[in-house]
Structure 1
Amino acid sequence: MKRKKVMLITPPYHSGVVESAGTWLNLGFVYIAESLRKAGYDVEIYDAMSYFNDYTDIAKRIETHKPDVVATTAITASINDCIEICRLSKQINPKVITVLGNVHPTFMWEEILNEHHTCVDYIVRGEGEITLPELLNCYFSRGNVSKIKGIAFWDGSRASATLAREYITDLDSIEGAWDLVDWSIYTYRPKPDSVLAIVNSSRGCNQYCSFCSQQLFWSRKWRAKSPEVFVSELEHIHTKYDVNAAMIADETPTYDRQRWERILDLLIERSMDIELFMETRVKDIVRDRDILWKYREAGIVHIYVGVESTSPDTLKRFEKDVSIEESRLAIELINKHDIISETSFVLGMPDETMASINMTVELAKHYNPDMAFFLAIAPWPYANIYKELEPYVATKDYSKYNLIEPVVKPAGMTIDELRDGLNRATRLFYMDKFSRLKNMTSFKRDYLIAVMKLLMEHSYIGSQIKSIHDSMPEEMKRFIRDFAEHFSPIP
């Protein structure tokens, strides 16, 4: 029997955020691809987003490769693009099987199938490594797909979902199809000649953040790879594919301190020339103050912590189990160890005002992260906070739910006023940051100058950063140029 072909397509969604710093691998497809290969399928990973391909390019790829199955992956902001890929696939070949997965389809399967069942055949709810091969095996053997856990489909008259799939407990057993990755397109722009990977050491989030999707997607459960397996996987892609920069994609890689410290020790012991970037919890940074030197020694150069708000009342509404004092201390500790500190502030709640935005900016300066992003609250329709936000939602166009474009209209502001407030917050923060360049270490100074140049050229906030630079005194411009020569200096 001829082997069936599966094409895994990352949709061509762009918002000006992710692509500002580089091109990023879809890690989920790497593991799903390997599980499909082991099940006997021919698999292709097609990252239309990172290739900056349009629908004409995608159509040509589908027509040329003739897949039997097209599977794509959707967050809320990219769901429209994923639906279009399914529609396009069906136009090219009505017999092709189309599959959607990831966070938005997991929760919004009924809405999707009610509106788009003519082009969407199946939805994988939750993790896909076991579910997708089982689904395809059942379908192609003409079995009863309603017995497959973790899917949703149109049963002829209505949207139907099967029992939930249990989470994978043994993450060490999951292997990645790293050889299917086109490494030539993945790079981290602040690091010249970089080859960028996305990796993870754990899955899950056991926090309660009311605005977030991750704790819902993972049902507040957390599982981890063994330190040895994780570090060996990182070493493999470093040695085999020359990866020299990697983002640890875990929501909370540091949750288990003993395990995390073992990872750090192994990274130090093996001394790989890889720069690592990560996200973690404020509380874990404060907890680890005595071993933060190991973070830096292990190659971690950039840490994001979610501060989210400078208002105690908003933090309570967000169900963030963290205090303002802890957030400030975490950033201070990261800075102390010469690691790039990054955070974000979520603005645009119904009671937001220009005065409250200005107060957030002033406190953001006080926290003193190296990088800060002022984001518009995104009302995920499945998030716990949605009921509070729904009366203020200005549009149901999911493509705008990207944390950049204001979607919630505060009671006392227009959408345009909120947009202006977010832009102004960016200008004020980075003007202050530019003024502190002389006081930074050479590592941070060079890094930030490179990042600022990239933000000007590639980011949605480029015009804001450019306006700051243009309004600087000539003396400061010369100072920046002096330190930016090896980064193609800012003109």
Structure 2
Amino acid sequence: MNSKKRILLVNPPHTAIGSRIPKEQLPPLGLLSVGGPLIDAGFEVSLLDAEFGPMTVAAVIDRIAAHAPDVLMLGHSGSTSAHDTIMRIAEGVKLACPGLPIVYGGVYPTYHWEDILRGYPQIDYIVRGEGERTTTELMLAWSRGADLAQVDGIALRRDGLPLATAPAEMIRNLDDYRVGWELIDHNRYSYWGGMRAVVVQFSRGCPYLCSYCGQRGFWTQWRHRDPVQFAKELARLHRDHGVQLINFADELPTGSRKAWLAFLEALIAENVNLTLVGSTRTGDIVRDADILHLYKKAGVIRFLLGIESYDEAMLQTIRKGTTTSDDQQAIRLLRQHGILSMATYVVGFEEETDADYWRSLKHLLRYDPDQIQMLYVTPHRWTPYFETVENRKVIETDSAKWDYKHQVLATARVPPWRVLLWVKAIEVIMQARPKAILRILLGKDQHVRHGMRWYTRMGRRVWIHEILEFLFSARLKKSTLTLRSFWGASLAANEESMLKRKRTIPLRASKTKGPDPAEQNPALRT
């Protein structure tokens, strides 16, 4: 038995502009998803959310030492940009608590496991891929002194050298593992202008092959939860904890029309006053033109749409799988049904010129989205896109700023200051144009007006912060460092982090008692 081994989950303070500016906090879904199965397996689990404050690294280390857990687990949805902070926390913890095992999980360590285990002795174990099953199996094996190299889906050291065990099989039934909502105080988390909020996943993965996406391969294959049970869970969160806002973390919650429709109908039947925000593809909105009234009735108030580029050739190059006509039609359809559209637009896919930025602005004005989010291309080493730009120059070598809101790759024909000028000018023109202002002031739907006003207030603070940071922080330097020399060779061959095949013998962590060597199988996966 594990004698109630104490596990501390830590959500580190994040440096990303988007995390610092809104002054609202969303719960760390990834850590909560790991925490639920660990609790059900008999471990004593606590969460330290260092985003509140945010806490300094020194304060986080002090809190961990005072808690004195048996195992420390670190991870963050920001992944790449959070890596440096996590390493500094782990290093300090190892000095304060030398014998404390440290487990690290997330997208970035899933692929960079070998570099981390070679360069950061403070990390003991890395969980690769989904965490619910693998983390539980790792802790069950560790608690009884079993050979951890038999646990699929992890990386560790053997004889001082990095070793990856066999890939874990992805979780086929997402309802097999529950979110550990009891680990948080719901009163502390809000979004969308003070609404009590949670982050959820109806589905994982995406069937499309966008070459730059850092998430698709991590989840390996698109799957969804039981629509009715998922709706019941959201209703319970509303009734038992006063949750008002549901933020979907899915890449594609609408991937199956049948499943999404079943969810909408089940949530409507629950008769709870929830507001839903999330991301989806424009093609799914066009596909669902006849049921968008159900989106609205269920509480959907905004969908983020990955427009990425106005150029059909570029959309094909990055394997987006959409068309500009779908993009425009989706925005019109959402507006007709009182649902906000946020268009994300990525600069830097190619060596753009001033004329390209001017054309981008004209096309965005024609699309007429309610909200705009301008992003900089951020090439992840495990994506196919990485190989296409590996010889471009890196102008931001601080990985903490690889958060999509900082320029990472050089654009040969436009200097960084002018790229910033174009991006900030496009944002102002799009958000301050007469149509947008009128929707804020005179929109018929109060929920739409609220969403427009909240985003405008938050966006204004982010906009000013980005300008000041560029002017007064360390400047981007002319660099001879290519992307390949900065990160190393492409890892795209290992893009799919887990196995798709069905296992012959289903294994699940016990939900009724702690780990028992006579009952538990040590070969669990994520």
Query: What is the TM-score normalised by the length of structure 2?
Result: 0.84
Letter in 1 for 2:260: W
- Would the aligned equivalents of 2:338 and 2:445 in 1 still touch at CA under 8 Å? no
Deviation (angstroms), 1:23: 1.2
Q: What is the CA distance between 1:415 and its match in structure 2?
A: 2.3
Q: Residue 385 of structure 1: SS of its match in structure 2?
A: helix
Question: What is the CA distance between 1:409 and its match in structure 2?
Answer: 0.5
Give the letter aligned to residue 125 of structure 1. Answer: R
> C-alpha displacement at 1:450, in angstroms?
2.9
CA distance in structure 2 between the aligned counterparts of 1:269 and 1:464, rounded to whole angstroms: 47
Question: Which position in structure 2 is the counterpart of 1:196?
Answer: 197
Report the AA paired with residue 231 of structure 1: A
Instruction: Give the Cα separation in 1 of the matches to 2:296 and 2:349.
Output: 36
Write out per-residue CA displacement over residues 307-358 of structure 1, whole angstroms, 9 at most, x where no aligned residue.
1111112212211000001101011111111111112100023411222112
1:146 equivalenced with 2:139 (yes/no): no
Q: Supply the distance in 2 between the matched residues of 1:229 and 1:347 (Cα, whole angstroms).
A: 40
Q: Which residue of 2 aligns with 1:66?
A: 68
Corresponding letter in the other structure for 1:325: S
1:218 to 2:219 alignment: yes
Equivalent positions of 1:223-372 (< 5 A) are 223-372=223-372
* 2:168 counterpart of 1:157: no
Deviations 1:208-257 (Å, cap 9, x if unpaired)?
011111111122x1111111110111111111111011112211111111
User: Alpha-carbon deviation of 1:27?
Assistant: 0.8
Shift of 1:376: 0.6
CA contact 1:348–1:376 (8 Å) conserved in 2 = yes
Q: Percent identity?
A: 28
In the alignment, the residues of structure 2 paired with residue 391 and residue 324 of structure 1 have an alpha-carbon distance, to the nearest angstrom, of 29
In 1, the alpha carbon distance for the partners of 2:233 and 2:300 equals 17
Distance 1:61 1:463, change over 3 A: closer
Distance in 2 of aligned mates of 1:18 and 1:205: 25
Query: C-alpha distance in 1, partners of 2:245/2:61?
Result: 32
- Secondary structure of the residue that 1:205 maps to in structure 2? coil
Q: Which moved more, 1:369-378 or 1:199-208?
A: 199-208
Pair 1:359–1:18, CA change in 2 (3 A)? farther
Q: Offset at 1:306?
A: 0.8
Give the secondary-structure state (helix, strand or coil) at the position aligned to 2:413: coil
Shift of 1:51: 4.2
Summarize the Cα distance change of 1:426–1:330 in structure 2 as closer, same or farther, 3 Å threshold: same
CA 1:201 to 1:454, structure 2 compared with 1: closer, same or farther past 3 Å? same
- Equivalence for 2:99: 95
Q: Secondary structure at the match of 1:167?
A: coil
**1:128 paired to 2:131:** yes
Which residue is 1:23 aligned to? 25
1:342–1:369 CA contact under 8 A, matched in 2 = yes
CA distance in 1, matches of 2:377, 2:176: 37
Give the conservation status (yes or no) of the 8 Å contact 2:15–2:400: no
Number of equivalences:
460
Which range moves more in the overlay, 80-89 or 447-456?
Answer: 447-456
Q: CA deviation at 1:12?
A: 0.7
> Cα offset for 1:387?
1.6
3-state SS, counterpart of residue 138 of structure 2: helix
- Partner SS for 2:8: strand
> Which letter does structure 1 place at the counterpart of 2:145?
R
Aligned position for 1:46 = 48
Summarize deviations over 1:351-403 as a string: whole Å, max 9, x none: 11222112112211111111111111001122211122222222342112111
RMSD across aligned C-alpha pairs, in angstroms?
1.8
3-state SS in 1 of match to 2:130 = coil
C-alpha contact (below 8 Å) 2:191/2:245 kept by paired residues: yes
1:445 is displaced (CA, Å) by 3.3
Distance change (3 Å), C-alpha of 1:138 and 1:463: closer
Distance in structure 2 (CA, Å) of the matches to 1:329 and 1:410: 31
Higher helix share: 1
**Alpha-carbon offset, residue 274 of structure 1:** 1.0
Q: CA 1:50/1:341 → structure 2, altered by over 3 Å: closer, same or farther?
A: farther
Q: Is the 8 A contact 1:377 1:403 kept in 2?
A: yes
In structure 2, the residue matched to 1:82 is 86
Displacement of 1:106 in angstroms is 0.6
1:182 maps to 185
Instruction: Specify the alignment match of 1:32 in structure 2.
Output: 34
Higher relative contact order (CA closer than 8 Å, sequence separation 6+): 2
CA drift of 1:177 comes to 1.4
1:114 to 101, 115, 118: 118
SS at match of 1:130: helix
Give the Å deviation of 1:97: 0.7
> Following the alignment from structure 1 to structure 2, what is the Cα–Cα distance between the partners of residues 104 and 23?
22
Aligned counterpart, 1:173 = 176
| Contact residue 10 and residue 49 of structure 1 kept, 8 A | yes
- The reply to whether residue 445 of structure 1 matches residue 445 of structure 2 is no
Work out whether residues 235 and 267 of structure 2, in 8 Å CA contact, stay in contact via their aligned partners in 1.
Answer: no
Structure 1 position 416 matched with structure 2 position 417: yes
Secondary structure at the residue paired with 1:307? strand
Alpha-carbon shift at residue 428 of structure 1 (Å) = 2.0
1:137 to 115, 122, 140: 140
Question: Mind listing any 5+ residue stretches in structure 2 that lack a counterpart?
Answer: 469-526
| Range that drifts further, 423-432 or 267-276 | 423-432
Q: Residue 133 of structure 2 aligns to which amino acid in structure 1?
A: I
